[in-house]
Amino acid sequence: MGTTLVRNIHTLATMDGMRREISQGAMFLQDNTIMAVGRLEDMPPASPDKIIDLPHHIVIPGLINTHHHMFQTLTRAVAQDKELFEWLTSLYPIWARLNSAAAYISAKLAMAELMLSGCTTSSDHLYIYPNDVELDDTIRAAQEMGMRFHAARGSMSVGEKLGGLPPDSVVEDEDMILRDTRRLIETYHDPSPGSMLQIVVAPCSPFSVSQDLMRESANLARSYRVRLHTHLAENANDVAYSLEQLGVLPGDYAQESGWVGEDVWHAHCVFLNDREIGLFARTGTGVCHCPTSNLRLASGIAPIRKMLDQGVRVGLGVDGSASNDSSGLLEEARMAMLVQRARGNPAGLSAREALEMATIGSASLLGRKDIGALAPGMMADFAAFRLDQIGYAGALHDPTAALLFCRTTKADVVVINGKVVVQDGHLTVTDVPILVEQHNHASKLLLNGD
């Protein structure tokens, strides 16, 4: 790839250790790595192979999405007025018709949408494997799109006849789940700095797997030193199920099952009490905040301010595109900022705190020290947004805050691993109209049962 000089940046919001925001900023890239960050005079004297001028832009670290179900882009705007459990039971029969081709195309579309929002790294929690679906389908999509990817091998093993929520037709044998998870780790997982692909062990939820599988999954993950992810305490019915069927609160269930620690992050956590929040803080257990999905399903507003104040590591996720129903991560950060204020505190979450959650906070959940900030030695992942748009007029006295307070449609330039994947607001890695057409065809077949 050679060397690249990114210069004349209107505002460079580094999210580095000093949280520097540099006017007339610059970065020097060597292949896929940032070599220098500062002003033009701070850059190496060498002549770059490529120059990118961004005089009308704010540049931020590439956003990091830590919870998604990409296959759900096929079923947006379905079950529009239902809470979580009713929503799931409405959609399970549709998702049971998912096939490999649909899983692949839905992942490509979700990644395209994420990239256009400034996202450069995403996790995806695929927990349903009907017909010929494999996690390999989404991995192939990520490799073609050039997105940094944490593929979470989800699973469901407790169907209706055993007291679980999913229909028996979509659950898997637990021994097979563990075998396939081991196969995926051994085949794909790359723990090295700058990794483009890692595997995560991710049983779906306490109401869809056994506690034995939770424990065995934790043991498997730690034997390979990979990370663990699941849903927890998403709504009041989730907590009620935990108390009635498992005899404990969700946080206690996580602790009993070996699902606390710095290698674990849980999605949602809307209904953790003060003691459970304290447990997560003491053990370094992470939380992925998914505000839009929580609102869409009337699950509630997670106590993120309290978590941050107690030292819980918090990142951000768009959640599945059948409960969001979008994959825009910058908009998710804005929503995170606003919903904390809706709890009655106008300073409940600042713009810069929301941006931290979507960058360095999310990087921490994934165990990454090479992304989430713009500093020497970090991977060359960044997004640039035009400030000379009508929506930012009047807000240029604080461009970083404007990025969160003002509504942004899409990024103008996105670079992943040193490669430009969005230029002038358009994806360079795929033909979007053809992708949308293929995706809508797959969605129609899935929804109609063809």
Single-letter code of the amino acid located at 326: S
- Residue 114 sits at the vertex; the CA angle it makes with 18 and 438, to the nearest 5 degrees, is 165
Dihedral sign for Cα atoms in the order 269, 275, 277, 281: negative
CATH placement of domain 63-365: 3.20.20.140
> Looking at residue 164, what is its pLDDT?
87
Return the domain boundaries, the chain: 3-62+373-427, 63-365
Q: What does the pLDDT read at residue 254?
A: 97
Give the torsion through C-alpha atoms of 99, 102, 108, 112, to 10 deg.
-140
Q: Phi, psi at residue 440, to the nearest 5°?
A: -65, -35
SS3 370: coil
* Average of per-residue pLDDT across 190-213: 97
Q: Backbone phi, then psi, for 117, in 5-degree steps?
A: -90, 0
User: CA 169, CA 97: separation in Å to the nearest integer?
Assistant: 11
Q: Which helix (H) or strand (E) holds 272?
A: none
Q: Does pLDDT of 1 surpass 80?
A: no
pLDDT of the residue at 255: 98
The tens digit of pLDDT for each residue in 301-318 reads: 999 999 999 999 999 999
Give yes or no for residue 160 having a pLDDT over 80: yes
Residue 409 has pLDDT above 80, yes or no: no
Q: What is the pLDDT of residues 127-152, one digit of tens each?
A: 999 999 999 999 999 999 999 999 99
How close are the terminal C-alpha atoms of the chain, in Å? 45
| Separation CA 356–CA 363 (nearest Å) | 10
- Does the pLDDT at position 408 exceed 90? no
Residue 154: helix, strand or coil by DSSP? strand
pLDDT digits (tens, 9 = 90+) for 109-129: 999 999 999 999 999 999 999
Residue 341 has pLDDT above 90, yes or no: yes
Tell me the average pLDDT of the chain. 97
Determine how many CB atoms are found less than 10 A away from the CB of residue 212.
11
Percent of the chain with pLDDT over 70: 100
Query: Do 63-365 and 3-62+373-427 have the same topology in CATH?
Result: no
**What average pLDDT does range 329-354 have in this prediction?**
96
Burial of 274 (0-12, 13-18, 19+ CB in 10 A): exposed
Region 21-46 average pLDDT: 97
pLDDT at 168: 94
Q: Structure pTM?
A: 0.98
Model confidence at 300: pLDDT above 90: yes
Backbone angles phi, psi at 306, to 5 degrees: -65, -40
Judge: domain 3-62+373-427, CATH 2.40.30.60.
no
The token pair that represents 1 in the structure block: 């790839």
